Structure 1
């Protein structure tokens, strides 16, 4: 009468033993599989490392170029489903475009380890500087005064035509095109204002080595500093070409 319970106990013990064996085999198989499969890199890790690279690259560029200003870095999010094998060597980073880390940028992130891969990570570096801004709408040919402009912070990565950072670069110069209120002034919008007008009495200076000869003249056209105009020598009556040196001053080569 006790044989049947004993048989059941034996069968249960055998089942538990087999289950334990199967569990151990499953754990061993999973462990072996884990050793064969590479660890995956999460996209957020790549974004963090790319941001660190851009921060260092931007700081170095501003220091080399002696550019004052503050900057902000944004790295675009990657597809969260992206899975890359972890790299058994330090990742390498290279700025693909543009040549300098300002504006929209693309960074090539590469693994050169046993499971190599490369990934292009887009981002943006904003550089804020104080630049010259129009204080009011201004017409073409306006000669700029201190009342016409002011300094204000702008993201210069958006100023594709260039920008100016000093009042000395604009005061007394003339606009080549109209500008709007709060528009940043680009170098292409300016030209030197004429300091000599047609009909002005000027002093002509002829230089040769250490010898300077001066004579009275009359400007035959308008001229800005550094430009060449036609001038009449009032002593000889001859028309010569002279370089405008400043208000009422022109120079000729002997």
Structure 2
């Protein structure tokens, strides 16, 4: 019959001691990681239950704990708890570190190609360890951009859901700027294709009627190199 007398218990390292060592190590590791990464958030550490039948010799030295996997102390992690004393042993303790951050979600359904406005967004707390597709912590990262697909209300917005919205549309009257050295020329034009900032589009020079390629720099503004 298995006994749990005080004498017997004193000859083994308790599972509570293993859990405590893991929690203390992870708490320090998570705080250090968040500070180094300049990440703002709330975290929770949950250590898995260990088999109460586990029998490890009482360690005559302080236990050492290291992170076995993954590289960062977030999500599902495994720690290595080791005794380096006269009767050495090693045990692996699984745990989960949850990181809660404020992320952007939609306040209403939006169709594909809709331009996101500030009123379409709300910031809510979510466990980002579960968001494998990514997330946004700043609403300005989404405002003014178009959706690449239809999204539902309360759905978390990811970078893959967004694309830069066009600021010049086909048929728009634009100002063509051309500069080189000390020379800066401006002339009227007509956009023949639409484009977002940084994109190259076709533009008709209304003075020469020539079609040129120009880079969109803003609403109604394009530029070409001389």
TM-score by length of 1: 0.80
TM-aligned CA deviation for residue 154 of structure 1: 1.1
Residue pairs, 1:87-102, within 5 angstroms? 87-102=59-74
1:113 equivalent in structure 2: 85
* Higher fraction of helix: 1
Does residue 1:45 correspond to 2:25, yes or no?
no
Tell me which residue corresponds to 1:212: 184
Aligned to 1:84, the other structure's residue is in SS state coil
Greater Cα radius of gyration, structure 1 or 2: 1
Deviation of 1:229 (Å): 1.7
Q: Where does residue 157 of structure 1 map in the other structure?
A: 129
How many angstroms apart in 2 are the aligned matches of 1:115 and 1:237? 89
Distance (whole Å) between structure 2 residues aligned to residue 45 and residue 232 of structure 1: 76
Offset at residue 228 of structure 1 (A): 2.0
Tell me, in whole angstroms, the C-alpha distance in 2 between the residues paired with 1:220 and 1:93. Answer: 64
2:144 aligned partner: 172
CA separation of 1:108 and 1:197: change in aligned 2, threshold 3 A = same
Q: Please say if 1:248 is aligned against 2:223.
A: no
Determine the C-alpha separation between the residues in 2 that align with 1:108 and 1:237.
Answer: 73
1:25 alignment counterpart = none
- Measured in 1, the distance between the counterparts of 2:34 and 2:131 equals 17
Cα separation, 1, equivalents of 2:109 and 2:187: 43
For each residue in 1:145-198, what CA deviation from the matched residue of structure 2 results, as whole angstroms up to 9, or x when unmatched?
122111111111111111111221111111001111111111110111111101
Q: Distance in 1 between matches of 2:45 and 2:97?
A: 5
- In 2, Cα distance between the equivalents of 1:241 and 1:116? 72
Question: How far apart in 2 are the matches of 1:216 and 1:111?
Answer: 78
Alpha-carbon deviations, 1:188-236, whole Å to 9, x = none?
1011111110111111222334543222222121111222222222233
Rounded to whole Å, the distance in 2 between the matches of 1:209 and 1:239 is 24
Summarize the Cα distance change of 1:120–1:229 in structure 2 as closer, same or farther, 3 Å threshold: farther
Partner of 2:32: 60
Looking at structure 2, the residues matched to 90 and 237 of structure 1 have their Cα atoms a distance apart, in angstroms, of 82
How much does 1:89 deviate? 3.4
Aligned residue pair count:
218
Determine helix, strand or coil for the equivalent of 2:18: helix
After superposition, the Cα gap between the structure-2 partners of 1:131 and 1:115, relative to the gap in structure 1 and judged at 3 Å, is same
Q: Confirm or deny that 1:75 pairs with 2:47.
A: yes
Partner of 1:134: 106
Deviation at 1:117, TM superposition (A): 2.3
* 1:225 paired residue among 197, 220, 225: 197
**TM-score (normalizing by structure 2):** 0.89
| Residue 234, structure 1, aligned to residue 215, structure 2 | no
Secondary structure of 1:107's match? strand
**Which residue number corresponds to residue 170 of structure 2?**
198
